[in-house]
């Protein structure tokens, strides 16, 4: 027998005995005591204790082998208190050879535990929630092996059945205290996608509850696992093939990555090993899920956390397949908690987190919003939701514990707020704002084909900022003239690795195809700062916004830039190519980047070259304004990136809530700077665009036009409101007014400009 086989059969024997004790008739306390002594004996420990979570987040000692019997039902620890409380608070195992040295050690004299030095404890988990802690202790200072930790985790999983069965403590005690109040509730999180929606809560998870943990015949369980895995793979393939969202390159990539994870050998191996150790296939899958959650809690990197969430998604799918294949006959599982079977027509999907494919499982016609307890703005599920145009609010603390299936919900994605079981007054307010938003959207749609011309005849060119293919597809709906800023780093951010030349060429060619002959300005990679590529290692920086980013990386790693430029050139064969370099701080940087582009243009074969090439720079670093005379002789166009330009102008971090709004874009220094840039570009006859966020806000956009800016690039949703403003503006009158303010010493000119708009009927 191999070492593995020996360990597996020992584990099967232990689980079998555990099951027999748990299933035996008699008092539950008696069974729990026997369990404690069985575990102590098996793990060669002097102590084994079971703590159960009670109302108010208190862990109570329910059974012990080795500690003083009087302590049972007396010793209580709050979550977070002592080592046991620490294990519960972090839902992770701890193995300590000298427990008293742990900073969280809390001595309880009534237990007599001073005699024991080493301690290993694991959380007892049910549906991802901690319902107790199982711990062993030894007299000697001994280390515990990883295998021992795993064995105790497996035991804790089987034990969870007894703890949550309602015999030890009522099921309601295992719920968080503020869990199911039927009062209206207002929760806030982080807006991953804007918009307002109302609907009915559909809980995405938990969907499957495992009832049978211990299996006699590992081979039969392995066969069931293989069958379910195969079923899951082909279901994912079908999903990829069938989903029209997936046809657009980027979303397809997301799903393909997901499939790769589904075929992950390490994950499947861990599940098989747990089956060999005596678990049913369902219990083994859940065991792997518990591990994943424990690992996830330690990971800081948001991209990696997202990948682990994809594993969770797959776990649920696999459980579904196991349930579908055999569960009903064997009674291994039941489907509860999910309200999917009776889905309402207006789904507000509620999940701890979810994978992209899971979202696509729901009927898109019915989906109104997504609420997540965790998640990140650039998570795959948020990207897909954006493509579906539904609001997403994430990082809502305690979300899944506070919502009951079919609760009425209002999602205010613009303010990252969620109203659960809202009162009549709140509902009325939102019905009104949803109506108003709908009317506004309809009125903007009616402006689609109107030229963006001010009342006194100035033509303004409105362009889109894009990052996803979906944004490019908005050209049609918004009537925008083209893509003024394609943030090419976005597709890089949602991938597991650097896209190669062929992939990049395809991405850019698709953008040009979708734009259908309208101009597209590709910005070369602007990574660094807050835009992180998980596969591109960089050292920590004190000031990442002012650190190694954008063109600085490109010039230091010219191979990356060359590959991207080569892909632009190939994608634009026979068409117009516009390339823009980000974060240029001095003319020499522009020259260096331009030289690399020229090399790529020189090497392209005849007949394969773009029809025309225009090259521009972004003006985001103030130093460049003092080199404008030299720069303007070299560029075909200039684009002001006001997001960065303003943070550097004011030395005021755009991502720091304390400083982001400290200075106003509508202030004398900004207006003076912009006026100067406009004049120089006019003199140099160089086309000027502004593509920062301010272009998309009507009052700011109004001011930009008053300063002489004629081309602005913005998010698709801003086109309508900005065009409505333009149609009602007399820009010459505004220009005169602005010139009167030139020497102002005020902090902000916003109140004055607001009054101007009001007095002159400008629709801001
Ligand atoms: C800007 O800085 O204004 C800009 C458009 O670039 P980003 O927001 O991508 O940094
Ligand atoms: Mg920028």
Res. 255: pLDDT tops 80: no
Nearest protein CA to atom 4 of ligand 1, as residue:
641
What's the CA gap between 294 and 299, in Å, rounded?
9
Nearest protein CA to atom 6 of ligand 1, as residue:
641
Would the CB of 642 count as within 6 Å of ligand 1?
yes
Would the CB of 150 count as within 6 Å of ligand 1?
no
Would the CB of 620 count as within 6 Å of ligand 1?
yes
User: pLDDT value at position 727?
Assistant: 97
- Find the 620 Cα to ligand 1 centroid distance in Å: 8
Indicate whether 405 and 371 sit together in one domain: yes
Would the CB of 113 count as within 6 Å of ligand 1?
no
Q: Which of 297, 313, 332 is the last residue of a domain?
A: 332
Would the CB of 422 count as within 6 Å of ligand 1?
no
* Structural domain contains residue 453: no
Indicate whether 231 and 349 sit together in one domain: no
Indicate whether 140 and 195 sit together in one domain: no
Would the CB of 487 count as within 6 Å of ligand 1?
yes
Q: Which of 286, 308, 332 is the last residue of a domain?
A: 332
Res. 757: pLDDT tops 90: yes
- Find the 278 Cα to ligand 1 centroid distance in Å: 55
> Which atom number of ligand 1 is nearest to the Cα of residue 639?
5
* Structural domain contains residue 394: yes
Would the CB of 549 count as within 6 Å of ligand 1?
no
User: pLDDT value at position 134?
Assistant: 97
> Which atom number of ligand 1 is nearest to the Cα of residue 485?
5
* Structural domain contains residue 359: yes
With a CB cutoff of 8 Å and minimum separation 6, the contacts of 13 are: 278
Q: How far is CA 226 from the centre of its chain?
A: 31
- Name residue 369's beta-bridge partners: 348
User: Do 407 and 416 form a contact (C-beta atoms < 8 A)?
Assistant: no
Res. 435: pLDDT tops 80: no
Torsion of CA 751, 754, 755, 756, to 10 degrees: 120
* Structural domain contains residue 365: yes
Res. 438: pLDDT tops 80: no
Nearest protein CA to atom 9 of ligand 1, as residue:
487
| Percent of the chain with pLDDT strictly greater than 90 | 54
User: pLDDT value at position 36?
Assistant: 96
Ligand of minimum distance to the alpha carbon of 485:
1
What's the CA gap between 171 and 179, in Å, rounded?
12
Indicate whether 318 and 374 sit together in one domain: no
* Structural domain contains residue 451: no
User: pLDDT value at position 251?
Assistant: 62
Would the CB of 489 count as within 6 Å of ligand 1?
no
What's the CA gap between 673 and 184, in Å, rounded?
50
Ligand of minimum distance to the alpha carbon of 639:
1
pTM score > 0.75 for this model?
Answer: no
Look up the CATH number of the domain holding residue 359: 3.50.30.10
Indicate whether 15 and 50 sit together in one domain: yes
Query: Which of 330-334, 395-399, 525-529 comes out lowest in average pLDDT?
Result: 330-334
User: pLDDT value at position 3?
Assistant: 65
Look up the CATH number of the domain holding residue 626: 3.20.20.60
- Total structural domains within the chain: 4
pLDDT tens digits for range 656-674: 656 767 899 999 999 999 9
Q: 245 vs 364, 370, 724, CA distance in Å?
A: 10, 17, 31
Indicate whether 380 and 349 sit together in one domain: yes
User: pLDDT value at position 353?
Assistant: 80
Q: How far is CA 340 from the centre of its chain?
A: 23
Res. 494: pLDDT tops 70: no
At residue 479, φ and ψ (nearest 5 deg) are 75, 20
User: pLDDT value at position 618?
Assistant: 98
Indicate whether 576 and 693 sit together in one domain: yes
Per-residue tokens: 21: 């004790």
Ligand of minimum distance to the alpha carbon of 484:
1
User: pLDDT value at position 339?
Assistant: 39
> Which atom number of ligand 1 is nearest to the Cα of residue 526?
9
Q: 98 vs 144, 365, 759, CA distance in Å?
A: 11, 58, 75
- Find the 620 Cα to ligand 2 centroid distance in Å: 6
Instruction: Print the domain residue range for 258.
Output: 208-332
What's the CA gap between 91 and 401, in Å, rounded?
16
Residue with tokens 């998604």: 313
- Find the 149 Cα to ligand 2 centroid distance in Å: 48
Ligand of minimum distance to the alpha carbon of 712:
1
Maximum average pLDDT range among 33-37, 313-317, 537-541: 33-37
Mutate to test the pocket of ligand 1, among 526, 547, 585, 695 (most ligand atoms within 8 A of CB): 526
Indicate whether 272 and 233 sit together in one domain: yes
Per-residue tokens: 382: 């948020």
Ligand of minimum distance to the alpha carbon of 531:
1
In angstroms, the first-to-last Cα distance of the chain is 79
User: pLDDT value at position 172?
Assistant: 59
Look up the CATH number of the domain holding residue 238: 1.10.274.10
In degrees, rounded to 5, the angle at the alpha carbon of residue 214 between the alpha carbons of residues 210 and 217 is 120
User: Do 89 and 79 form a contact (C-beta atoms < 8 A)?
Assistant: yes
Mean pLDDT of 329-356: 69
> Which atom number of ligand 1 is nearest to the Cα of residue 489?
9
Mean pLDDT of 218-227: 94
Would the CB of 526 count as within 6 Å of ligand 1?
yes
User: pLDDT value at position 216?
Assistant: 86
- Find the 527 Cα to ligand 2 centroid distance in Å: 10
pLDDT tens digits for range 596-627: 999 999 999 888 999 999 999 999 999 999 99
Would the CB of 691 count as within 6 Å of ligand 1?
yes
User: pLDDT value at position 222?
Assistant: 95
* Mean pLDDT value across the chain: 86
- Find the 14 Cα to ligand 2 centroid distance in Å: 60
User: pLDDT value at position 672?
Assistant: 97
Q: Which of 272, 297, 332 is the last residue of a domain?
A: 332
Mutate to test the pocket of ligand 1, among 377, 471, 487 (most ligand atoms within 8 A of CB): 487
> Which atom number of ligand 1 is nearest to the Cα of residue 693?
3
User: pLDDT value at position 179?
Assistant: 36
Would the CB of 641 count as within 6 Å of ligand 1?
yes
Look up the CATH number of the domain holding residue 75: 3.30.450.40
User: pLDDT value at position 178?
Assistant: 43
User: pLDDT value at position 74?
Assistant: 94
What's the CA gap between 715 and 465, in Å, rounded?
5
Would the CB of 644 count as within 6 Å of ligand 1?
yes
- Find the 488 Cα to ligand 1 centroid distance in Å: 12
Indicate whether 511 and 595 sit together in one domain: yes
User: pLDDT value at position 495?
Assistant: 67
Indicate whether 432 and 465 sit together in one domain: no
Indicate whether 645 and 579 sit together in one domain: yes
Res. 61: pLDDT tops 70: yes
Indicate whether 308 and 409 sit together in one domain: no
Nearest protein CA to atom 8 of ligand 1, as residue:
643
Per-residue tokens: 507: 């991405």
Res. 296: pLDDT tops 60: yes
What's the CA gap between 243 and 175, in Å, rounded?
38
Rg of the chain over all Cα atoms, to the nearest angstrom: 31
249 — pLDDT class (breaks 50, 70, 90): low
Long-range contacts of 551-559 (CB under 8 A, 24+ apart): 551/524, 551/581, 551/582, 551/583, 551/584, 551/589, 551/593, 552/528, 552/583, 553/525, 553/527, 553/528, 554/524, 554/525, 554/581, 554/593, 555/589, 555/592, 555/593, 558/596
Provide the pairing of β-strand 637-640 with 612-619: parallel
* Structural domain contains residue 674: yes
* Structural domain contains residue 452: no
- Find the 647 Cα to ligand 1 centroid distance in Å: 11
- Find the 487 Cα to ligand 2 centroid distance in Å: 10
Mutate to test the pocket of ligand 1, among 463, 643, 697 (most ligand atoms within 8 A of CB): 643
135 — pLDDT class (breaks 50, 70, 90): very high
Query: Which of 112-116, 581-585, 670-674 comes out lowest in average pLDDT?
Result: 112-116
Mean pLDDT of 68-94: 92
């Amino acid at each position: 027998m191999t070492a593995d086989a020996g360990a597996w059969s020992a584990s099967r024997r232990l689980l079998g005995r555990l099951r027999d004790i748990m299933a035996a008739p008699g008092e539950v306390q008696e069974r729990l005591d026997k369990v404690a002594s069985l575990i102590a004996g098996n793990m060669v420990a002097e102590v084994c204790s079971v703590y159960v979570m009670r109302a108010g987040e208190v862990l109570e000692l329910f059974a012990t082998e080795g500690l003083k019997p009087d302590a049972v039902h007396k010793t209580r620890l709050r979550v977070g208190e002592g080592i046991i409380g620490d294990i519960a608070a972090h839902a992770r195992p701890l193995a300590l050879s000298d427990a008293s040295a742990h900073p969280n050690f809390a001595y309880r004299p009534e237990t007599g535990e001073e005699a024991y030095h080493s301690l290993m404890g694991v959380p007892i988990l049910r549906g991802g929630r901690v319902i107790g802690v199982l711990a062993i202790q030894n007299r000697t200072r001994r280390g515990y092996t990883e295998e021992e930790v795993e064995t105790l985790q497996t035991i804790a999983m089987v034990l969870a059945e007894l703890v949550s069965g309602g015999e030890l403590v009522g099921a309601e005690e295992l719920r968080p205290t503020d869990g199911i109040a039927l009062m209206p509730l207002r929760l806030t999180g982080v807006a991953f996608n804007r918009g307002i929606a109302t609907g009915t809560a559909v809980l995405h998870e938990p969907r499957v509850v495992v009832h049978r943990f211990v299996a006699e015949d590992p081979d039969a369980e392995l066969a069931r696992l293989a069958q379910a895995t195969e079923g899951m793979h082909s279901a994912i393939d079908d999903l990829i093939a069938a989903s029209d969202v997936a046809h657009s390159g980027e979303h397809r990539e997301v799903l393909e990555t997901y499939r790769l994870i589904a075929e992950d050998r390490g994950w499947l191996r861990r599940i098989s090993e747990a089956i060999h150790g005596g678990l049913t296939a369902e219990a083994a899958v859940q065991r792997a899920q518990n591990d994943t959650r424990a690992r996830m809690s330690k990971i800081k990197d948001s991209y990696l956390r997202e990948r682990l969430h994809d594993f969770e998604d797959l776990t649920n799918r696999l459980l579904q397949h196991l349930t579908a294949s055999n569960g009903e006959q064997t009674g291994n599982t039941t489907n509860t908690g999910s309200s999917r079977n009776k889905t309402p027509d207006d789904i507000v999907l509620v999940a701890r987190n979810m994978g992209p494919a899971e979202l696509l499982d729901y009927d898109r016609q019915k989906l109104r919003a997504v609420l997540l307890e965790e998640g990140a703005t650039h998570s795959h599920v948020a990207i897909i939701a954006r493509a579906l145009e539904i609001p997403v609010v994430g990082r809502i603390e305690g979300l899944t514990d506070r919502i009951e299936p079919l609760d009425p919900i209002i999602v205010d994605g613009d303010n990252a707020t969620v109203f659960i079981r809202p009162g009549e007054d709140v509902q009325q307010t939102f019905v009104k704002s949803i109506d108003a938003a709908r009317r506004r959207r309809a009125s903007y749609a009616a402006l689609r084909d109107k030229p963006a011309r001010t009342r006194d005849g100035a033509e303004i060119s409105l362009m889109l900022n894009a990052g996803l293919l979906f944004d490019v597809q908005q050209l049609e709906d918004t009537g925008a003239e083209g893509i003024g800023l394609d943030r090419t780093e976005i597709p890089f951010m949602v991938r597991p690795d650097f896209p190669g030349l062929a992939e990049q060429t395809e991405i850019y060619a698709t953008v040009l195809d979708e734009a259908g002959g309208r101009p597209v300005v590709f910005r070369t990679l602007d990574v660094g700062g807050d835009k992180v590529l998980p596969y591109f290692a960089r050292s920590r920086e004190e000031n990442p916004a002012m650190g190694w980013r954008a063109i600085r990386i490109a010039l230091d790693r010219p191979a990356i830039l060359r590959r991207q430029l080569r892909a632009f050139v190939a994608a634009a064969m026979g068409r117009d190519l516009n390339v823009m370099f980000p974060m240029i701080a001095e003319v020499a940087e522009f020259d260096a980047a331009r030289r690399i582009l020229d090399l790529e243009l020189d090497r392209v074969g005849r007949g394969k070259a773009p029809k025309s090439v225009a090259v521009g720079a972004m003006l985001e670093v103030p130093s460049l304004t003092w080199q404008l005379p030299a720069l303007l002789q070299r560029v075909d166009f200039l684009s002001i990136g006001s997001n960065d330009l303003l943070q550097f102008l004011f030395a005021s971090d755009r991502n720091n809530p304390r400083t982001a709004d400290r200075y106003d874009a509508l202030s004398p220094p900004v207006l003076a700077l912009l006026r100067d840039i406009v004049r120089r570009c006019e003199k140099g006859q160089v086309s000027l665009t502004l593509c920062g966020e301010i272009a998309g806000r009507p009052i700011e956009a109004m001011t930009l036009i008053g300063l002489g800016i004629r081309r602005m690039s913005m998010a698709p949703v801003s086109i309508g409101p900005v065009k409505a403003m333009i149609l009602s503006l007399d820009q010459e009158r505004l220009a005169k007014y602005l010139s009167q303010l030139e020497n102002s010493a005020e902090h902000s000119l916003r109140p004055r400009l607001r009054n101007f708009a009001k007095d002159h009927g400008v629709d801001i």
